[in-house]
Amino acid sequence: MAEYGLYEVYFLEVDKERNLVFYDTGKYQLIYLPKGQIDDLRTIGNGKGRGPAEFGNPFDLKFDKKGDIWLADVERMEVQQWGPKGDFIQSFQIDKYARPSKLAVTDLGNIYILSEQYTPEGIIYKYTSKGEKIISFQKPEVRDYRSVLYFEGDMQVLGEELIISGRVKPYLRRYTTNGQLKYSTGIVGFKNIDNILIHEKRWRSRNKELIRATIDIEVYDNIIYTGISNRIDRWIRIIDLYKPNGEYKSSIHLKNPARNFSVYGNKVFTLEYNYDNDEIYLGEYEVSRK
C-alpha cells in the first residue's frame, strides 16, 4: 500500500456492499475504498484538530447498516458519525469522564461504546443513534484496573446483543440487550498470565511480558471471528471462529501478522505487515464456515 502513500493504517472494516474503510494515523484521515477498489480511494476528514470534521486520536470505527461510519475518538472524548461520501453528520460525548475507545452498531442503529477509562457508571454504554443514553453497565472486576486497556479488546454485535473480547484476559463474552452477562468463555489455546499489573512502590504499571489475547473481533452470518496475537506484541497471527454460543469451530492462520481484519461473505480481509520489505498489505483469505 506504500505506492498509494498509505503506511500507518488501522481499524479495517467492510460493509455489506463490500466498501472498505480504515484510518490513516499519519494523515489523520479516513481512507474509503468503494467496492474495495484501492485505485478509487477517497479521503474523509480534515485532519487533526478540534473542529467538527477533524480527528483527535481515533481508537475504533465501524459501519452501520446504512453504510455510515461511526468512529470512537478517545482524545476528543466523543463518538463521530460520517456518511460514506465523506460528509460529517454529527458527534456527541457519552459521559463527563468516559473516553470512547471501542464501539459496535446494531441493526436498529443503537451503539455500544466502551470507555477507555473507568467511570462510576461502568465501562460499557449503550446509546441511540441520536446520542441519547439507554443504559450503562459492567464495572471493572478489580478496582485497580481503572483502564480497560488492561483487559478489554474489541466489541461487535450479534443481532442486538453485544459480543466483547478480552485483550489480555482470555475470554469471549456475550451480553443481553439490557447489559446482563449471557456467557463468558475462554479463548482456545491462549497462554494466560496472571500478573497483569506490576506493583512498583506507589504505582502500578502493565507487565511488560503481558501476552495479548483477542485484538480484533468481527461477527458475520452468526459466526464470531476473533483475532489472536498470543504474544507480547499486538499483531494478529490467528483468527479463531466461534459459534453464537461461544463454542469453538476452527482457525485461520495468516500468512503475515496483521493489524486488523474484517469479514465479508466467505472472505476475510486483513491489514498485514510484511517483515521482508517493511510494508503494509491488504490481504484476502477465503474461509469455509461449515
Residue 191 has pLDDT above 70, yes or no: no
Among 109-123, 141-155, 205-219, which range has the highest average pLDDT?
Answer: 109-123
**Predicted local distance difference test score (pLDDT) of residue 146:** 52
**Predicted local distance difference test score (pLDDT) of residue 96:** 83
pLDDT confidence of 152, banded at 50, 70, 90?
Answer: low
Domain that holds residue 217: 2-286
**Predicted local distance difference test score (pLDDT) of residue 140:** 61
* Residue of 79 and 84 predicted with greater confidence: 79
Q: H-type helices in 142-244, by residue range?
A: none
Summary mean pLDDT of the chain: 86
Is 86 within 8 Å of 44 (Cβ atoms)?
yes
pTM for the complete prediction? 0.89
**Predicted local distance difference test score (pLDDT) of residue 208:** 67
Residue 157, C-alpha cell as written in the block:
454485535
Question: What is the number of domains present in the chain?
Answer: 1
* Residue of 191 and 63 predicted with greater confidence: 63
Place of cell 475507545: 101
**Predicted local distance difference test score (pLDDT) of residue 118:** 77
pLDDT confidence of 268, banded at 50, 70, 90?
Answer: very high
The 10s digit of each residue's pLDDT in 207-266 is: 666 666 667 899 999 999 998 877 767 788 889 999 999 999 999 989 889 989 999 989
**Predicted local distance difference test score (pLDDT) of residue 213:** 64
> Residue 135 maps to which CATH number?
2.120.10.30
pLDDT confidence of 167, banded at 50, 70, 90?
Answer: confident
- ∠ CA 182-187-190 to the nearest 5 degrees? 155
Among 72-86, 188-202, 252-266, which range has the highest average pLDDT?
Answer: 72-86
Mean of pLDDT values over 148-163? 81
* Residue of 121 and 167 predicted with greater confidence: 121
**Predicted local distance difference test score (pLDDT) of residue 193:** 61
- ∠ CA 37-3-286 to the nearest 5 degrees? 45
Among 38-42, 56-60, 138-142, 153-157, which range has the highest average pLDDT?
Answer: 56-60
**Predicted local distance difference test score (pLDDT) of residue 220:** 93
Mean of pLDDT values over 143-161? 72
Is residue 138 exposed (0-12), middle (13-18) or buried (19+ Cβ within 10 Å)? buried
**Predicted local distance difference test score (pLDDT) of residue 112:** 97
**CA separation for the pair 237, 257 (Å, rounded):** 5
